[in-house]
Homo-oligomer: A and B are copies of this chain.
């Protein structure tokens, strides 16, 4: 059994990104710049945003954090998004979700310029993904693809079973792994809450992607010998006596399942650390896309 080390992989990618930024700067190029909007004071959101800002610093990106109280109106927030859309120095913009109930997440997401939508949530970018056109792949699916690629896991002709049909993980992963490319060319089965006899499918999986949000749900008797397991679950469960008072548990019962796997991602330290790297890669890609456009259509 090989443990897929997302922490190590993400550090390796960050080192590559840092080298690329250094190279850009040496050649007089622009430094990639990620902007983030945070509304309110949700604890988990604070943590996520802090680690994104920290990651930018680590690889030499500029970052700007715009904070607003949760009393900000939708109109004001949309105006800020538009302002950032028009700021030529900013390459990528993310708005940390969830937003307060009086603000439409859909409207905010659709207001972000698709060219700066490094979260890959804008419908135009989701459509490009489905059509296999170049685009920003959203964080978790991107991270999963990177792990499969960096660990050189064979995917062509394999049966990949995806548990969960969310817009941010299950659905895009099932689309990406069906595509005629690497990683891809899997026969993909997408399972969800309405699937009957789930074990019937999980037992067939050469690659199992668990993105249900049910801690410890996948047991040893549900998978076959030699399976590749990608565990996307990150549920906080109370753990009295530990320093934080909680532990992060994946969708897979690791202790039971790991011995049967050829590869498995741990939780934490598997898919999680890869998601921030995806954001950084997309921000650099946005800068490169803009420069390519400028080369083709120079402003004279």
What are the interface flags for A130-174 relative to B under an 8 Å C-beta threshold, 1 for contact and 0 otherwise? 111100000000000000000000001100000001010001101
Could you say which residues of chain B place their CB within 8 Å of the CB of A127? 122-130
For A170, the closest partner residue in chain B by CB is B178
CA–CA, A171 to B106, complex, Å?
A: 24
Of A122, A131, A187, most buried by chain B (CB within 10 Å of CB) is A187
Q: Is the interface of A mostly helix, strand, loop or mixed?
A: mixed
Of A122, A130, A185, A196, most buried by chain B (CB within 10 Å of CB) is A130
CA–CA, A156 to B196, complex, Å?
A: 9
For A179, the closest partner residue in chain B by CB is B165
CA–CA, A195 to B206, complex, Å?
A: 13
CA–CA, A190 to B130, complex, Å?
A: 14
Q: Is A263 an interface residue (CB 8 A)?
A: no
The reply to whether B175 and A130 contact each other, CB–CB distance below 8 Å, is: yes
Give the contacting residue for A188; candidates B126, B132, B167, B189; CB below 8 A: B189
CA–CA, A179 to B46, complex, Å?
A: 32
Q: Is A236 an interface residue (CB 8 A)?
A: no
Q: Would you give the shortest CB distance from A45 to chain B, in whole angstroms?
A: 22
The reply to whether A187 and B195 contact each other, CB–CB distance below 8 Å, is: yes
Q: Is A8 an interface residue (CB 8 A)?
A: no
Q: Is A194 an interface residue (CB 8 A)?
A: yes
- Hey, which bits of chain A sit against chain B, CB under 8 A? 106, 122-133, 156-157, 165, 167, 171-172, 174-175, 178-180, 185, 187-196, 201
- 23 pairs of residues in contact across A and B, judged by CB atoms under 8 Å: A106-B133, A122-B127, A124-B127, A125-B127, A126-B130, A126-B131, A127-B127, A127-B129, A130-B171, A132-B167, A157-B194, A157-B195, A157-B196, A165-B179, A174-B190, A180-B192, A180-B193, A180-B194, A185-B192, A185-B194, A187-B190, A187-B194, A187-B201
